[in-house]
């Protein structure tokens, strides 16, 4: 099968081509055709009508949506979440679990694996384990009853059920430095979050391969003039990637602008941290068994008001950073897919170039998703 996407405003990292075209052969991009060049005959044609055509988004931190949670025992939950992500322009994702018992995590990964083997919507790049090896002093919306010591054997047992791509843990906890080395050796990306680490403690982990921070600024050591902490580490160390929830709730516009001013663009990763209320109205929901109230789009734990994930859609996150930073979209687009793929060591995703996966999202001028292609097949 061949596909021609024509009249496209092609935007890829450091690429901005109005009225261009993409030739797709099977699941790969065959070539990008600049304006004015002859177009090939293909078996299918899609007219982008001048809209923005960008690499499909990659969400490496998502807990749910449309009333369903990744950790649900319902096998129907994962396909519903993956379809909802697709409508945000997300073509690949890492379903994200919570601090729960190993038995509960195992059930979740069985459902994730069943979908991963036969994906009908967004693709699965591997599971993101957020916890359970976190600092109970920085619990956030995680369940303190299930916090435990780092255990690589548990991670490997879960990997036997379904691949794990990313683990969020607190680097200052006993055994975490060893865990860092073990994750790196296993090809799993280590990320520090729910942490009260000092800058020196983080540096010890960084020397062992820890170069990513989970939901930057949230549930981590704040910046202080005598101890820069984890926020300081994220801003200061150019080789450290930072996940950002750009909903203007978890991070104010000024913090978003600051991060984009001082960090290399290649080390900023948009994500949603979306929970089950995403795509639905305000009301009462749950996250990992904890009661959550959503009001004015902000999700908070019922008992203490702590932020409990978000209701952010990925295309809205891109719109927000474009409005807040004013930077060109061909720079910002790197934060939506290529950076995520590189942080997980995955090649062939995140660019609209020859040989890359034909994972493509079409956006109108208001960043609404108008079409989505996964491996060259239109899904939305």
Choice among 247, 273, 296, 359 that is catalytic: 273
Query: CB of 166 within 8 A of CB of 60?
Result: yes
* Confidence at residue 119, expressed as pLDDT on a 0 to 100 scale: 96
Same structural domain, 277 and 191: yes
Same structural domain, 305 and 218: yes
Same structural domain, 6 and 154: no
* Confidence at residue 353, expressed as pLDDT on a 0 to 100 scale: 98
* Confidence at residue 40, expressed as pLDDT on a 0 to 100 scale: 95
Query: CB of 212 within 8 A of CB of 343?
Result: yes
Same structural domain, 319 and 218: yes
List of the chain residues with pLDDT < 70: none
Is 273 an annotated catalytic residue? yes
Give the domain CATH number at 34. 2.30.40.10
Instruction: For residue 259, give the 3-state DSSP assignment.
Output: helix
Does the residue 348 lie in any domain?
no
Same structural domain, 36 and 81: no
Same structural domain, 7 and 137: no
Does the residue 236 lie in any domain?
yes
The domain in which residue 19 lies consists of 2-54+357-378
Same structural domain, 154 and 244: yes
DSSP for 189-240 reads EEEE-S----HHHHHHHHTTT--EESSTTTTSPPPBTTB-HHHHHHHH-TT-
* Confidence at residue 289, expressed as pLDDT on a 0 to 100 scale: 86
* Confidence at residue 1, expressed as pLDDT on a 0 to 100 scale: 82
* Confidence at residue 3, expressed as pLDDT on a 0 to 100 scale: 97
Secondary element (H or E) of residue 293: strand 290-295
Same structural domain, 46 and 163: no
User: How far is 372 from 380, CA to CA, in rounded Å?
Assistant: 5
Same structural domain, 12 and 156: no
User: How far is 346 from 93, CA to CA, in rounded Å?
Assistant: 12
Does the residue 225 lie in any domain?
yes
Q: Which residues are annotated as a binding site for Zn(2+)?
A: 130, 194, 215
Closest CA to 70 of 159, 79, 280, 245: 79
pLDDT tens profile 151-168? 999 999 999 999 999 999
Instruction: For residue 270, give the 3-state DSSP assignment.
Output: strand
Does the residue 33 lie in any domain?
yes
Does the residue 350 lie in any domain?
no
* Confidence at residue 288, expressed as pLDDT on a 0 to 100 scale: 86
Secondary element (H or E) of residue 84: helix 77-86
Closest CA to 266 of 348, 332, 313: 332
Give the domain CATH number at 204. 3.20.20.140
**pTM (predicted TM-score):** 0.98
Same structural domain, 366 and 271: no
Which tokens is 373 given?
């292609």
User: How far is 98 from 274, CA to CA, in rounded Å?
Assistant: 12
Phi, psi of 149 (to 5 degrees): -70, 150
- The conformation of residue 146, written as its DSSP 8-state character, comes to G
241-244/268-270 β-pairing: parallel
Which tokens is 230 given?
């984890």
DSSP for 303-364 reads TT--B--B---HHHHHHHHHHHH---HHHHGGGGTHHHHHHTT--S-S--STTSB--EEEE-
Contacts of 80 (CB under 8 A, 6+ apart): 65, 66, 67, 68
Number of domains making up the chain: 2
Same structural domain, 116 and 250: yes
* Confidence at residue 347, expressed as pLDDT on a 0 to 100 scale: 97
- The conformation of residue 28, written as its DSSP 8-state character, comes to E
Query: CB of 128 within 8 A of CB of 343?
Result: no
Does the residue 260 lie in any domain?
yes
Contacts of 315 (CB under 8 A, 6+ apart): 57, 88, 89, 361, 363, 367, 368, 369
* Confidence at residue 77, expressed as pLDDT on a 0 to 100 scale: 97
- The conformation of residue 120, written as its DSSP 8-state character, comes to S
Does the residue 352 lie in any domain?
no
- The conformation of residue 274, written as its DSSP 8-state character, comes to B
pLDDT tens profile 239-277? 999 999 999 999 999 999 999 999 999 999 999 999 999
Does the residue 351 lie in any domain?
no
Same structural domain, 40 and 69: no
User: How far is 82 from 84, CA to CA, in rounded Å?
Assistant: 5
């Amino acid at each position: 099968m061949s596909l021609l996407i024509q009249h496209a405003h092609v935007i890829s990292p450091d690429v901005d081509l109005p009225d261009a075209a993409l030739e797709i052969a099977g699941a790969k991009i065959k070539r990008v055709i600049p304006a004015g060049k002859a177009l090939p005959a293909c078996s299918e044609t899609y007219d982008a009508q001048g809209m923005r055509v960008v690499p499909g988004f990659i969400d490496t931190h998502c807990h749910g949506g449309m009333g369903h949670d990744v950790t649900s025992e319902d096998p129907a939950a994962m396909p519903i979440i993956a379809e909802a992500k697709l409508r945000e322009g997300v073509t690949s994702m890492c379903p994200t679990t919570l601090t729960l018992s190993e038995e509960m995590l195992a059930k979740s990964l069985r459902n994730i694996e069943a979908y991963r083997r036969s994906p009908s919507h967004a693709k699965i790049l591997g599971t993101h384990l957020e916890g359970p090896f976190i600092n109970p002093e920085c619990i956030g919306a995680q369940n303190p009853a299930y916090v435990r010591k780092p255990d690589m054997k548990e991670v490997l047992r879960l990997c036997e059920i379904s691949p794990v791509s990313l683990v969020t843990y607190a680097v200052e906890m006993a055994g975490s430095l060893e865990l860092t080395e073990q994750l790196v050796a296993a090809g799993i990306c280590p990320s520090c979050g729910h942490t009260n680490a000092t800058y020196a403690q983080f540096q010890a982990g960084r020397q062992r391969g820890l170069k990513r921070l989970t939901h930057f600024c949230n549930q981590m050591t704040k910046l202080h003039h005598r101890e820069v902490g984890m926020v300081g580490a994220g801003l200061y160390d150019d080789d450290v990637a930072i996940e950002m929830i750009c909903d203007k709730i978890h991070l104010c516009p000024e913090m978003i602008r600051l991060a984009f001013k001082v960090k290399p663009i290649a080390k900023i990763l948009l994500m949603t941290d979306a929970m089950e209320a995403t795509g639905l109205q305000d009301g009462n929901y749950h996250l990992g068994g904890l009661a959550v109230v959503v009001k004015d789009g902000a999700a908070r734990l019922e008992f203490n008001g702590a932020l409990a994930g978000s209701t952010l859609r990925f295309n809205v996150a891109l719109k927000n950073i474009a409005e807040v930073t004013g930077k060109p979209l061909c720079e910002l687009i790197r934060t939506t897919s290529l950076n995520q793929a590189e942080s997980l060591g995955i090649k062939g995703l995140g660019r609209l170039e020859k040989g890359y996966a034909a994972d493509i999202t079409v956006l109108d001028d208001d960043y609404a998703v108008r079409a989505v292609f996964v491996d060259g097949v239109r899904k939305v």
